Structure 1
Amino acid sequence: MEFIMRRFSWTPSIVPSGNDEAVYLVADDFGRLGRAWREADYEATDLETVVQGLLTGQYSNPIRIVAFNTAERWSEDISEDVARELRRRCDLQMRELPAAISDFVERHEDQDRRQLTLQLV
């Protein structure tokens, strides 16, 4: 009798099934250690949690934010939209952008916004 082990090319999905919500992930740059998608708790992948995490310094050097929804079969780089929202919230609170996200916001802000930004002294 011979035992043959089959090899499967299947790998388990990291995406929850049966959930029709968008998931938001942040790519972070760790310098010499490289770049990685930040780990996120299953319940903490909504847009508001990501925005709050960015504002409170939970990311060292964010480089990109991607949204996806497997049920609807779409994904999108939403870095520009998030950068605009981060700037808007800081402007409303009349505070400077946190240092950890200022490069991200400036890199992803649309050109019109960069031209309209005024420094009040």
Structure 2
Amino acid sequence: MRYAPPIVPLDRLDRDIYLVLEDFGARAGCSWRETDEQDTDFETIIRDLITGQYAYPVRIVAFNAVDGWSRDATSEVADELGERAAGNAEITPALRAFIEANATRPFAVQLALPLRGAV
């Protein structure tokens, strides 16, 4: 019997992959978002959440198929979003609610103060 190589090279799976469960409302319910393979790393998920690519995120799961582990990464992602969004008053109300509901560290948005003329 001949050995058949795997369909997906192992090096493509030997990394942490993040997937987002999103709530699409009462009629559609929740679903894991379809995502391009190269867009499942931590930094891309953070960027996509901040820029509004996910309207109502519910849960984030991380896994590594080669290492054989998976975990709920929701709090980790919420903490990172809270840090990065702290100076950004333009985040969506849904993202703010996600951070407040899931972060393990306090989240406070610093509102910009209007600049007045020089003294």
The TM-score range, normalised by the shorter chain, is: 0.7 to 0.9
| CA positional deviation for 1:95 | 1.6
- Residue 113 and residue 45 in structure 1: after superposition, are their counterparts in 2 closer, same or farther (change >3 A)? same
**Residues 1:46 and 2:41 aligned together:** yes
Q: % of aligned pairs identical?
A: 41
- The CA RMSD over aligned residues, in Å, is 2.0
Structure 2 stretches lacking a partner, 5+ long? 1-7, 114-119
| CA positional deviation for 1:60 | 1.2
Greater helix share, 1 or 2? 1
- Out of 85, 92, 95, the residue aligned to residue 88 of structure 2 is 95
| CA positional deviation for 1:29 | 0.2
Number of aligned residue pairs:
101
Q: Give the aligned partner of residue 13 of structure 1.
A: none
- Residue 113 and residue 30 in structure 1: after superposition, are their counterparts in 2 closer, same or farther (change >3 A)? same
Which TM-score applies when normalising by structure 1?
Answer: 0.75
* Secondary structure of 1:21 counterpart: coil
Which TM-score applies when normalising by structure 2?
Answer: 0.76
Q: Which deviations, in whole Å up to 9, do the C-alpha atoms of 1:33-91 show, x marking residues without a partner?
A: 10000010011111111100000001110000000001001001111111111110112
- Out of 101, 110, 113, the residue aligned to residue 106 of structure 2 is 113
CA distance in 2: counterparts of 1:42 and 1:78, whole angstroms: 18
1:57–1:100 CA contact under 8 A, matched in 2:
no
1:66–1:75 CA contact under 8 A, matched in 2:
yes
